[in-house]
Structure 1
Amino acid sequence: MEGDKYLQEFLVETSMFNSIVLGHLLPSNWWVTLPHFLQTWLRNYIAGTLLYFISGFLWCFYIYYLKRNVYVPKDTIPSNRAMLLQIYVAMKAMPWYTLLPTVSEYMIENGWTKCFSSISEIGWFAYIIYFPIYLVIVEFGIYWMHRELHDIKPLYKYLHATHHIYNKQNTLSPFAGLAFHPVDGILQAVPHVIALFLVPTHFRSHVALLFIEAIWTANIHDCIHANLWPVMGAGYHTIHHTTYKHNYGHYTIWMDWMLGTLRDPEDDSCQRAQKVQ
């Protein structure tokens, strides 16, 4: 009984999220008649779509218009057609992408994971220990998932190649961040869910990180090299899109550094300059 009461806290929290999003964005309360799982999926789909468009449009407006020719040279700005294609691919996959956080919330609500509802349950010290472990598991998992999507030829041909048609600066934009085959996008986010079974994880932190993925992937596809060590920024990821065999990491360069797949944008720029000379 005590366990059921505790799991009820997760259900109350997800119901609150559903009410906040669906209650404010849908014209009537017809959604309350849907099963809880479908309510959660609809909330994730609407929130994910809004986050994709708002972050993408604002970022593109800033770097391609307000700061035109400052961060990205004029001749490398992607065409409207290229960006519309990326949006089309991402929107086809969005219903499937948002199924993953819906399933993870279902597993959490049923007590299948190590998730906890409130930081006060374990204290801030334990949270500060567990959260980096969660991120390390995610980084490790995404690196290998991404690398195998390249190394296993059928996976590349039928899944990951959809994303790699954007292989030059003038075809990459923040909208390319979610332009994947839906199975590819889900596979690369699965480590977030696997980590729930391995390390105690704060529920809201997990949900937030899944949605922050949309912002992060937009950022690493804008071709702007921030040079903030050890962050796997857009400079590194642009190289990945041009060589196909470097910089598989997600948040950091550590996995690539340890496994010999790192290629630094600064070194790459120096090599190009020497060739020109």
Structure 2
Amino acid sequence: MESGGGEYLKLFEEETTLYNHIVLGNLLPCRLWYPLPHFFQTWLRNYIAGTLLYFISGFLWCFYIYYWKRNVYVPKDAIPSNKAMLLQIFVAMKAMPWYCALPAISEYMVENGWTRCFSRISDVGLPAYLIYLVINLVVVEFGIYWMHRELHDIKPLYKYLHAIHHIYNKQNTLSPFAGLAFHPLDGILQAIPHVIALFIVPMHFTSHLALLFIEAIWTANIHDCINANIWPIMGAGYHTIHHTTYRHNYGHYSIWMDWMFGTLRDPMDEGSKKVM
């Protein structure tokens, strides 16, 4: 479905304006953000919301697995030091302003009718919405897999961008805070399939925004080194292998792309090798 017409496009702008007022209006004095152009209000809202989500989810996650459930999910000698986690936070915070430019740009494109977004689920119906959502996730998964894989295979991209993230290469250097500890351009490249998909598949606007913020929670999850082993989810057990071999498990939400393209390595197989 192509979204066109000035009246229809106003629905997107009204929605982003509402989100801006919810976040900025409750956290900042009006004089600090209201005079800003709409695009910069949107960027600031994404920056504040993204930063809060990163810290709240990261601290709660670390408190639960490293202190409340100490030695239950992660062995004591595999718990990262506070210094390591602070370094991850520092790297993520340097990149956060740049990360938040991507959703601001995607919202700008949606508001101007350049994408295939629709504003209301009722515009297409629930069955079509669910079908489009699944197709969108497949497109995003495919895009992130190949973007991530090329960040390894193309040597300059790895050396100057992705290697910053791969200094965390064993259990006691990985933590939920490492989930966003990337070079800014690296993080944007790996999230850009979400935006490209908007031009390919009709997508509910609010669902698109929700998926972008779910990224922050998901990346925290896959860096906590806990192998939940829920097929076909690309959980932390798989992603920890990626950080130790560099050549396997490039996928994001699922193992399907790695299975299709021959780069899958199962944590259960790794456990069997250790036992033998």
Do they superpose with TM above 0.5?
A: yes
- Sequence identity of aligned pairs in percent? 78
TM-score of the pair, normalised by structure 2: 0.98
- What amino acid does structure 1 have at the position aligned with 2:222? I
Partner of 1:71: 73
Native 8 Å contact 1:23 1:29 kept in 2:
no
Partner of 2:14: 12
**Whole-angstrom distance in 2 between the partners of 1:226 and 1:29:** 47
Residue 124 (1) aligns with residue 126 (2): yes
Superimposed CA distance per residue, residues 81-111 of structure 1 (whole angstroms, 9 cap, x where no aligned partner): 0000000000000000000000000000000
Partner of 2:237: 235
Matches within 5 A, 1:178-189: 178-189=180-191
**Whole-angstrom distance in 1 between the partners of 2:59 and 2:182:** 18
Alignment match of 2:252 (pick from 250, 253, 262):
250
Superimposed CA distance per residue, residues 192-221 of structure 1 (whole angstroms, 9 cap, x where no aligned partner): 000000010000000000000000000000
Give the secondary structure class of the aligned counterpart of 1:164: helix
Partner of 1:26: 28
- Which blocks of at least 5 consecutive residues in structure 1 are unaligned? none
Deviation at 1:30, TM superposition (A): 3.0
**Whole-angstrom distance in 1 between the partners of 2:266 and 2:31:** 52
Deviation at 1:242, TM superposition (A): 0.1
Alignment match of 2:60 (pick from 58, 62, 71):
58
Native 8 Å contact 1:76 1:170 kept in 2:
yes
Partner of 1:107: 109
- What amino acid does structure 1 have at the position aligned with 2:273? Q
Superimposed CA distance per residue, residues 124-159 of structure 1 (whole angstroms, 9 cap, x where no aligned partner): 010111100000000000000000000000000000
- What amino acid does structure 2 have at the position aligned with 1:225? N
Two-structure CA RMSD over aligned residues (Å): 0.7
Native 8 Å contact 1:133 1:199 kept in 2:
yes
Give the secondary structure class of the aligned counterpart of 1:186: helix
Deviation at 1:272, TM superposition (A): 1.4
